[in-house]
């Protein structure tokens, strides 16, 4: 397998994703400004470059896994004085952005890439750091039909599932719509447990009913916000993430940006975004998003066994 891949952004997600591409036999050059990320990447067989553009010089495929849309646009366009990937990577290269960013930013990045003669795809993920390490991420792909087959093959070493979502930007759209459901449903499940507690209902009794009835959802059956009913949920390990509250706050912020742009009235989405923003900047900073139940109980986080 001789495809040359550049991987820009070798953090908690990008690091293990790039490592899985190396394990699959690809030649991977990478860039990350963090010395720690560079050291880990070198140990994983990635040739660490001095800049994003240097990593992309000979690449046929350029992955990005960066914190936000501004970082992706900076790397693509060289807006901060660094040499841009667009114009440096060989003509016709395939640019695949796996970061979670605003739909508008994804479309702007793809348009700039296409205008310069590249192919551009958005492929955000769910599955977290465990999924990145295990190579079992779900990818939500926004691409042309023509590019999808190639993209699927490239993602395969990192993926459990690869879902085609439509044209460019659709991967990001699917990701934020899904996570808006997730944020709202976690609040709904947490409110139900707190109400149940005050009505004298045990956690197990509510779980036994709702998990097999119409209240069933992932927030209840996989990421249950109270300890006990689902032994693997973060509630059983003092709410260590898991899916950290600041990431949920970020994704709900992106969903609300998209709702504004499309004049969509998402009342519950807005409430969830507000609750998670406050929680992520406060007690929930280092905790799984299911710890929001403490805020609903109006109990200090210490009351949760920490
Ligand atoms: P992270 O902060 O661990 O990694 C981001 C990396 O990008 C850092 O190592 C940082 O040094 C690097 N970086 C910043 N600016 C750069 C630049 N200009 N060029 C190259 N590298 C640069 O974050 P993460 O958890 O790996 O998340 C990455 C993306 O994946 C985010 O968009 C996040 O929303 C998304 N995501 C994360 C998770 C998760 O569980 N962590 C799950 C799904 C999606």
Q: What is the residue-wise DSSP string for 29-84?
A: EEE-S-HHHHHHHHHTT-EE-SSHHHHHTT-SEEEE--SSHHHHHHHHHTTTSSPP
Is 14 close to ligand 1, i.e. is its CB under 6 Å away? yes
Give the pLDDT of residue 82: 87
Q: Measured between alpha carbons, how far is 17 from 9 in angstroms, rounded to an integer?
A: 10
Q: Average pLDDT of the chain? A: 96
Exposure pattern of 82-116 as b/e (b: 16+ CB <10 Å)?
A: eebbbebbeeebbbbbbbbbbbebbbbbbebbeeb
Q: Report CA dihedral (240, 242, 243, 244) to the nearest 10 degrees.
A: 20
Is 132 close to ligand 1, i.e. is its CB under 6 Å away? no
Mutate to test the pocket of ligand 1, among 38, 62, 65, 161 (most ligand atoms within 8 A of CB): 65
Give the pLDDT of residue 81: 84
Q: Measured between alpha carbons, how far is 31 from 51 in angstroms, rounded to an integer?
A: 6
SS3 288: strand
pLDDT tens figures, 200-251: 999 999 999 999 999 999 999 999 999 999 999 999 999 999 899 999 999 9
DSSP state of 291: G
Give the pLDDT of residue 304: 54
Q: Measured between alpha carbons, how far is 272 from 21 in angstroms, rounded to an integer?
A: 36
Distance from residue 67's CA to the centre of ligand 1 (Å): 4
Q: Measured between alpha carbons, how far is 173 from 141 in angstroms, rounded to an integer?
A: 10
SS3 162: strand
Determine the atom of ligand 1 nearest the C-alpha atom of 10.
9
Give the mean model confidence (pLDDT) for residues 194-204: 98
Is 103 close to ligand 1, i.e. is its CB under 6 Å away? no
The catalytic residues are 175
Give the mean model confidence (pLDDT) for residues 5-19: 97
Q: Measured between alpha carbons, how far is 226 from 293 in angstroms, rounded to an integer?
A: 8
Q: What percent of the chain has pLDDT over 70?
A: 97
Distance from residue 285's CA to the centre of ligand 1 (Å): 17
Q: For residue 2, is pLDDT > 80?
A: no
Nearest to 159 by CA among 136, 183, 182: 136
Q: How confident is the model at residue 305 (pLDDT cuts 50, 70, 90)?
A: very low
Q: How confident is the model at residue 167 (pLDDT cuts 50, 70, 90)?
A: very high
Q: How many CA atoms lie within 13 A of 36 on its CB side?
A: 2
Distance from residue 15's CA to the centre of ligand 1 (Å): 9
Give the mean model confidence (pLDDT) for residues 6-18: 97
Q: Residue 78 region, left (φ>0) first, then alpha (ψ -120 to 50), else beta?
A: left
Determine the atom of ligand 1 nearest the C-alpha atom of 31.
20
């Amino acid at each position: 397998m001789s495809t040359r891949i550049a991987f820009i952004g070798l953090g908690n997600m990008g690091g293990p994703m790039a490592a899985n591409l190396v394990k699959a036999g690809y030649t991977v050059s990478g860039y990350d400004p963090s010395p720690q990320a560079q050291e880990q990447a070198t140990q994983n067989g990635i040739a660490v470059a001095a800049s994003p553009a240097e990593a992309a010089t000979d690449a046929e495929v350029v992955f990005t896994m960066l914190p936000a849309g501004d970082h992706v646009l900076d790397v693509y366009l060289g807006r901060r004085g660094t040499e841009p990937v667009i114009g440096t990577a060989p003509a016709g290269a395939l640019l695949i952005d796996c970061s979670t960013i605003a739909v508008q930013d994804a479309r702007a990045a793809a348009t700039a890439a296409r205008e310069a003669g590249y192919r551009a795809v958005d492929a955000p993920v769910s599955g977290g750091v465990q999924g990145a390490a295990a190579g079992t991420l779900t990818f939500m792909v926004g691409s042309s039909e023509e590019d999808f087959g190639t993209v699927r093959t490239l993602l395969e070493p990192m993926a459990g599932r690869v879902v085609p979502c439509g044209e460019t930007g659709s991967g990001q759209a699917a990701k934020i719509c899904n996570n808006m459901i997730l944020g709202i449903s976690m609040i709904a499940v947490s409110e139900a447990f707190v109400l149940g507690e005050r009505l004298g209902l045990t956690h197990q009794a509510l779980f036994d009913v709702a998990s097999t009835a119409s209240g069933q959802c992932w927030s209840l059956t996989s990421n249950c916000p109270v300890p006990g009913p689902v032994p693997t949920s973060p509630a059983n390990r003092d709410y260590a993430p898991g899916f950290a509250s600041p990431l949920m706050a970020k994704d709900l912020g992106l969903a609300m940006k998209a709702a504004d742009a499309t004049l969509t009235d998402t009342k519950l989405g807005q409430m969830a975004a507000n609750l998670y923003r406050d929680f992520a900047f406060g007690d929930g900073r280092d905790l799984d998003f299911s710890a929001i139940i403490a805020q609903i109980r109006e109990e200090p986080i210490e009351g949760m066994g920490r």
